Amino acid sequence: MYQALYRKYRPQVFDDVVGQDSVVKVLKNSIAQHKFCHAYMFFGSRGIGKTSLSKIFAKAVNCLSPVDGNPCGKCKNCLIASEKECVDILEIDAASNNGVDEIRELRNKINLVPAELKYKVYIIDEVHMLSIGAFNALLKTLEEPPEHAIFILATTDPQKVPETIISRCQCFSFQRISIDMLIKRLEYVCEKENIKIEKEVLKEIALSSDGGMRDSLGMLDKLSSYTSDLITMDIYTELNGLITKDDLEYFSNCVLSGDFKDVLSTIDRFNDCGKNLIQIISQFMYYLRDILVDYYVSNKEYKYDIHLVEKLITIINEKMFDIKKSSNPKIYIEVLLLNFMSDLVNVDKRVEVLNTENVVETSIVRPNNTELNVESKNKVVSNVQSTITHSENKVTEVDVDDFQQKSVENDNSNNLSSDIADDSQSIINLKQIVDVRVNNAFALANKQILTTEMEHLKVLNDYTFDQQIGYLVCEILNSKFRVASEDIIVISYEYDSIVKQNLEHLEQIEEVYFNLTKSSKKFAIISDEEWNKLKNEYIDHLRRGEHYQVLLEPEKEFKKNESDDIISNDAASLFGDIVEYD
């Protein structure tokens, strides 16, 4: 009768176990030194060697002449322990024998001496499935078993095992087997079984098994049963409901280019062919991950914005649990990808400037070649795009009404307060100045500068109670720091009314910020809505290989204030024609 590969190649000695070196070393030394415990607990994911090591250990403790901790496999006890009918090595499945009656029966029989071997070993698999009553029945026996009894408890979910049980066992955590170790073991099995298989297929098997040797060998067994010829990637994808690399490349191009029609038709095609969409979306995520690795590790360029790839991976990874639990994964995946692509389309729309008389249009340098050279593109992406993403977090909010008025006895604060004018003069070209500052902040944005400026905000918290400048400090703390360069900080507020109010005190805000932080930055104040538009416009230009040019900031133009003193005014302007002149 044919024997499955995972059973045929199950380890028979400690040295055959793959990927559990630390556990194997402890168990081998305990056998060699005759210092083994009465109760062990092995926990870890499925198919990584818990049961195999339990059986090897049961055989080793009964071996008459162990070799460096390994069972010799030749003595009388080893031969008896290898038989299925061995009554002294009992393997119990706790999933089907989880009642208190089964454990009580085990407890009553445990005092019987071994029939043939030196020790009676009880291997309880999936021990977390036992009921509370069964755990209680096992507790006392586990704490003080007879000298001839050894317990080995194995579980994939140790959190469900009571602490009173765990504390009475010597616990070992089994690790997932690495990809390289799995591939090496699979190559060994293929050589022994004369299985012809592509190296790439072995890698895919190892990746899909999630560190489990049993799953890897089971997959290899299925592939070898499909054909006696060379096992290729096409065969692997066909048997597992996956898609080829060409399909992955085409699908990624459709998604990242925002092609709604082709994305939906491609998903329909996969579904009509009977593909597992959950496995496909997982495969798609790993494909995108490989693109990221090639980009950052191997400096391999990619035709789409790498930050879009990062965002797409994050979205899929966050929603993978929901996809698996969805009643209709196809619709969920479609909506998820369509939402992502709709954001791309919205980013591609240009922002229209509201009033061309008062607004300076953003100056764009359009190179002859629409693609930037690699060095320039990497610099723009790393310095500015990450700055935009990083600075979305709002700084600490301070509600002025929540503070009680109190004076701050600080010489620096007093000097500051007296230096600030009550009202700034009205600047008639303020909108033009703000637009130029925003443009220049985008052109020279630096993530490190933004981080430094946000650190300065901690200093401002000490002045929120100041009667003279406290309201200006709170306005700065209530803002969102968006982009920063060597000379400019762009901040935003939720409501236009707050923006208008703070623009009237722009010079005062800049003076307070300089005196408290010693950072001589100019401020550009905009609304959150305007920020989102400008950010999307910038991303659009960046995608097209265009970058912003630094503009010269115009001089401030102040509105002349008329005096209210009638003595200094022209009499004719006050009284008109009724005034007679000598």
pLDDT tier, 415 (very low <50, low <70, confident <90, very high otherwise): very low
In whole angstroms, give the CA distance from residue 76 to residue 567: 125
Domain with CATH 1.10.8.60 in the chain: 179-239
Q: Give the 3-state DSSP-derived string for 83-116, with helices as H, strands as E and coil as C.
A: CCCCCCEEEEECCCCCCHHHHHHHHHHCCCCCCC
Residue 412 CB coordination number (10 Å): 11
Residues in the chain: 582
pLDDT in tens, 25-75: 999 888 888 888 888 999 888 888 888 899 999 888 888 888 888 888 888
> DSSP 3-state assignment of 525?
strand
Predicted local distance difference test score (pLDDT) of residue 573: 52
Fold of 5-173: Rossmann fold (3.40.50)
Better pLDDT: 184 or 368: 184
When mean pLDDT is compared across 35-49, 135-149, 320-334, 352-366, the lowest value belongs to 352-366
Q: Of the candidates 517, 425, 514, 420, which has an alpha carbon nearest to the alpha carbon of residue 469?
A: 420
Predicted local distance difference test score (pLDDT) of residue 523: 92
pLDDT in tens, 565-575: 444 445 555 55
Residue 519 CA: distances (Å) to CA of 383, 453, 506, 552: 21, 8, 15, 21
Predicted local distance difference test score (pLDDT) of residue 264: 92
Correct CATH for 245-348 of 1.20.272, 1.10.1060, 1.10.238, 1.20.120? 1.20.272
Given 3-state DSSP classes, what are the helix, strand and coil percentages for the chain, each rounded to the nearest 5?
55, 10, 35
Predicted local distance difference test score (pLDDT) of residue 492: 93
In whole angstroms, give the CA distance from residue 500 to residue 82: 85
In whole angstroms, give the CA distance from residue 38 to residue 35: 10
Q: Starting at the earlier edge strand, list the strands of the sheet with 120-125.
A: 89-93, 120-125, 149-155, 39-43, 170-173
pLDDT in tens, 452-511: 888 888 888 888 777 788 888 888 888 999 989 988 999 999 888 888 888 888 888 888
Domain with CATH 1.20.272 in the chain: 245-348
When mean pLDDT is compared across 244-248, 282-286, 391-395, the lowest value belongs to 391-395
Radius of gyration of the chain (CA): 37
In whole angstroms, give the CA distance from residue 432 to residue 438: 10
In whole angstroms, give the CA distance from residue 279 to residue 210: 13
Fold of 179-239: Helicase, Ruva Protein; domain 3 (1.10.8)
* pTM: predicted TM-score of the whole model, two decimal places: 0.55
Predicted local distance difference test score (pLDDT) of residue 526: 93
pLDDT tier, 333 (very low <50, low <70, confident <90, very high otherwise): very high
Domain with CATH 3.40.50.300 in the chain: 5-173
Contacts 24+ apart (CB under 8 A), 234-239: 235/201, 236/201, 236/204, 236/205
φ/ψ bin of 451: left (φ > 0), alpha (ψ from -120 to 50), beta (otherwise): alpha
Type and span of the H or E element at 490: strand 488-493
Instruction: Assess contact for 50 and 93: CB atoms under 8 A.
Output: no
- Cross-strand bridge partners of residue 38: none
Q: Is the pLDDT of residue 560 over 70?
A: no
In whole angstroms, give the CA distance from residue 5 to residue 219: 10
Predicted local distance difference test score (pLDDT) of residue 488: 92
Those residues with Cβ within 8 angstroms of residue 182's Cβ, 6 or more apart along the chain or in another chain: 18, 205, 206, 209, 211, 213, 216
DSSP 153-207: EEES-GGGS-HHHHTTSEEEEPPPPPHHHHHHHHHHHHHHHT--B-HHHHHHHHH
In whole angstroms, give the CA distance from residue 530 to residue 499: 11
DSSP 275-309: --HHHHHHHHHHHHHHHHHHHHTS----SS-HHHH
pLDDT tier, 306 (very low <50, low <70, confident <90, very high otherwise): confident
Note the Cα 557 to chain centre separation in Å.
50
Q: Is the pLDDT of residue 392 over 70?
A: no
DSSP 209: T
